Structure 1
Amino acid sequence: MRILITNDDGINSPGLHTLVKQIEEENDVIVVAPSEQRSASGHSLTLHRPLVIREVKIEGIKSKAFSVDGTPVDCVKIAIDKISSYKFDKIISGINQGYNLGTDVIYSGTVSAAIEGAIYKIPSIAVSLGYDETLDFQDRNIYRAAAEYAKIILRYSVKNNMSEDIVLNINVPPIDRDKIKGIKVCQLGNRIYQNCYIESAMEDGTIGYSLTGTPNDIDEENTDVYNIKRGFVTVTPLHYDLTNFKILKDVSQWFREV
């Protein structure tokens, strides 16, 4: 298969490198990723300046790789429209350093890159590994289990003819492979952050505010938030159509006299 691999942590991310090395064993891979860290960029695009593309060489990886000084969504669009001469069979985004659970997917550049693939009618996968401050996330080995599960899920998505407009959002707990209990297909959970802005003095005398936050997870069964804490790899099918079909008819009644 012809696969585009991208991310939001940047072209130098060890998570990206580990994923590419795993996937290129059985597939024709092109890597197109941001030139620098672009986490939490959501579905943003670069509109008011030209994008610069550079071919780069990643140590230990045979696939062609390109950096783009833009967002993850920029990377997907320009890979499809300019870099590649053929249509991709799949797009994989990751491996992200940190979960993309529940409402995280709204902000995530990792997930947004995969959603952009689905908009182009290319079935896509987003892969994230939970963060653990005791681990060295610059070590490629930390991402090995997540890369192996991404490869397994990719195979099953092909075997079962995954729809072209679907994204599979994968989250992997940061534990040893033999301690992972299996795969759970589940819905998005509810993850709300308790945000805190830290003040700091800038060089020009103004005050800056840096955002930090801790997740306040609602532990509902059959959600990704619930199952990831119990040692499962979670898989959630996503779609870019945000219509709330449950209340579509109700809202239409509001305007029946207009």
Structure 2
Amino acid sequence: MSKKKPLILVTNDDGITAPGVRALIAVMAEIGDVLVVAPDKPQSAMGHAITINNTLYLNKISKEGDAITEYSCSGTPVDCVKLAVNEILKKKPDLCVSGVNHGSNSSINVIYSGTMSAAVEAGIEGIPAIGFSLLDYDWNADFDTIKPFIKKITQETLANGLPKDVVLNVNFPKLKKEDIKGIKICRQAKAIWSEKFHKRITPQGKDYYWLAGEFVNLDQGQDTDEWALANDYISVVPVQFDLTAHHSIQQLNTWKWNE
């Protein structure tokens, strides 16, 4: 008896036509049955935003008989996962993959990332999930180089499962396949964005602002995602969505809250 193929939900934040998600779809089609629900336009840096004050639209863009069913969604990456799970699928998928993002989602970027928020939303739903990102912002980036690694990481995740309430944040360095040294399990580096707002004036004389900034890595550890990427490794960070600072509970309990 042949083994049943896993059902894989694919989404992203760069939009359903982005080369990164098309590459991810191609790899997932080699592994399982694929459903795609992705934004109809770029939704980068949306974080875990959901649509509550506007209507949401789903547009089926695949045709009857196509091997892969695809929907574009007017909402955010998290909206895409919610609609897929609650409105389209009759059962939860075996895996959700998000990406491949055009650009880094390492370190503090995970907080802002629509790519990773989609994966986190799947994790909240009890679905094993992986977010994939390539450190190349070029729309025409070479995703073929990383396809074998995407396939390997996906297969290992399906074979072994993930710890409860954990999703994976995977970042690829911008390198040729033969120059990638391997895969490293890492922690998230401590880093910040040193931000600046450029104040400008419209032709009508109204002030407006343009966000700019510089990424600053404050972490010199050799077990971080930033170190791995700088040293030609693929970084894999297990991410949890319980934001409780457990280490601080004992200290806070020494305060005189009820006196």
User: Quick check: TM above 0.5?
Assistant: yes
Q: Do the aligned partners of 1:32 and 1:65 also contact (CA within 8 Å) in 2?
A: yes
Match of 2:173 in 1: 173
- Tell me if 1:68 matches 2:73: yes
**1:14-41 deviation digits (Å, cap 9, x = unpaired):** 0000010011112011011111111000
Change in CA separation of 1:160 and 1:106 when aligned onto 2, cut-off 3 Å = same
Determine which of 45, 49, 63 is the counterpart of 2:50.
45
Match of 2:222 in 1: 221
Q: For 2:133 and 2:70, locate their aligned partners in 1 and report how far apart those are by CA, in whole Å.
A: 21
Displacement after TM superposition at 1:151 (Å): 1.5
Determine which of 110, 115, 118 is the counterpart of 1:110.
115
Letter paired with 2:103: G
TM score, norm. by length of structure 2? 0.91
Letter paired with 2:143: Y
Which 5+ residue runs of structure 2 have no aligned equivalent? Answer: 1-5
Question: Cα RMSD over matched residues?
Answer: 1.7
TM score, norm. by length of structure 1? 0.92
Q: For 2:148 and 2:210, locate their aligned partners in 1 and report how far apart those are by CA, in whole Å.
A: 35
- Tell me if 1:138 matches 2:140: yes
Q: Do the aligned partners of 2:104 and 2:134 also contact (CA within 8 Å) in 1?
A: yes
Q: For 2:134 and 2:48, locate their aligned partners in 1 and report how far apart those are by CA, in whole Å.
A: 20
Q: How does 1:173-212 map to 2 (within 5 A)?
A: 173-212=173-212
Q: Do the aligned partners of 1:195 and 1:214 also contact (CA within 8 Å) in 2?
A: yes
Which 5+ residue runs of structure 1 have no aligned equivalent? Answer: none
Q: Do the aligned partners of 1:127 and 1:146 also contact (CA within 8 Å) in 2?
A: no
Match of 1:160 in 2: 160
Displacement after TM superposition at 1:69 (Å): 0.7
Displacement after TM superposition at 1:49 (Å): 1.4
Letter paired with 1:167: V
Letter paired with 2:113: S
Q: For 1:246 and 1:185, locate their aligned partners in 2 and report how far apart those are by CA, in whole Å.
A: 23
Q: For 1:80 and 1:35, locate their aligned partners in 2 and report how far apart those are by CA, in whole Å.
A: 18
The total of aligned residue pairs comes to 251
Q: For 1:236 and 1:93, locate their aligned partners in 2 and report how far apart those are by CA, in whole Å.
A: 15
Q: Name the SS for the 1:155 alignment partner.
A: helix
Determine which of 7, 12, 15 is the counterpart of 1:10.
15
Displacement after TM superposition at 1:54 (Å): 0.5
Deviates more, 1:28-37 or 1:160-169: 160-169
